[in-house]
Amino acid sequence: MSKYRYKVLIVDDSPLYRTLIRECLESDPALEVIGAAADPYEAREKIKKFNPDVITLDIEMPKMNGIQFLKNLMRLRPMPVVMVSTLTQHGAEVTLSALEIGAVDYVPKPSANIATAIAQERDELVSKVKAAAQANIGQPQWGKQAAPVQVNRHHYNRKGYEIIALGASTGGTEALRGVLERLPEHMPPIVVTQHIKAAFCGPFAQRLDRACRLSVEEVTADRMPLIQGHVYVAPGDRHLTVVNRQGHLYCQPTDEAPVERHRPSVDVMFSSVAEAVGAKSVGVILTGMGRDGASGLLKMHQAGALTAAQDQASSVVWGMPRVAIELGGASQVLPLSNVANFLVETVYGK
């Protein structure tokens, strides 16, 4: 019996990009491109006809833009969607909106040169489309109804936790927003590594900052001091490490080689927290493809930190948390909706 092939529908108004994306995807035996559509209306008919497992969706299209089509699709027939986005400021803002609406992931537009596209970008496109085809779709979207976690004003950080570290990949932009927007403004400093393109990192941090009581910023300088009530997001093309200098904690971006093909890497951040802070730290690994962060969370756990991993039911892609649990690095396994409460109760007590 032959192995199942995931059926992909390509939605893009450019014949060149439809061809490029098809060639990239058909290089993998697990994927079958069952059709292509030049606009959302044609896409709607082909979805009905072919029942694809996953769609690649261009943002800029005639007749109806990709965002409006995605909104309609998620309302009427939720299914895995990977956005094909330009690496620009506008492309970043629109792509982050698409992830908020329910897209699983995004990839950059392939290069117009076929040889370059296949050599440099094919693997990312293929792996993200395969992950999306298996993703847990229809997770409850975080909205403004998510109530902030209340803290009794008489409670304080009795155990002296100095830092919280959060790592995520696929599905993480919305998972992180859902957690951070529920936290009170006087939490210990929080460091975040999310697998994200460099062009998207600033807009992502700004989006989080608008949603949260905490102050959120991208790490753009060396030796940034870690301050209570602040969240520090790893830059899109550098690792974020935490260093202890004479009892004071700082963010230190580094340009070392990618780990598990990622820079920034969750493993690098978690490992640095284990070394610099040890038992006075909290680490949580959220939804994501692959295994980045699992060994770093284990190092935090072994250093005495309190650690947790997101559960399968609430993860868009249960890769990174699953491996962390299998390695024994997670002392707790939590649904996403409980992570903010877990952090507040850990720091301030019940």
Residues 242 and 252: beta-carbon distance below 8 Å: yes
d(CA 48, CA 285): 37
Angle at 336 between CA 241 and CA 331, to 5 degrees: 65
The reply to whether 262 belongs to the active site is no
Whether residue 17 contacts residue 110, with contact meaning beta carbons closer than 8 Å, is answered with yes
Catalytic residue among 53, 58, 105, 292: 292
12, 105, 169, 230: which one is catalytic? 169
Query: For this structure, is 311 an active site residue?
Result: no
CB atoms within 10 A of CB 202: 17
Residue corresponding to tokens 């753009």: 220
Catalytic residue among 12, 85, 105, 195: 195
Query: Would you call 111 a catalytic residue per the annotation?
Result: no
Catalytic residues: 169, 195, 292
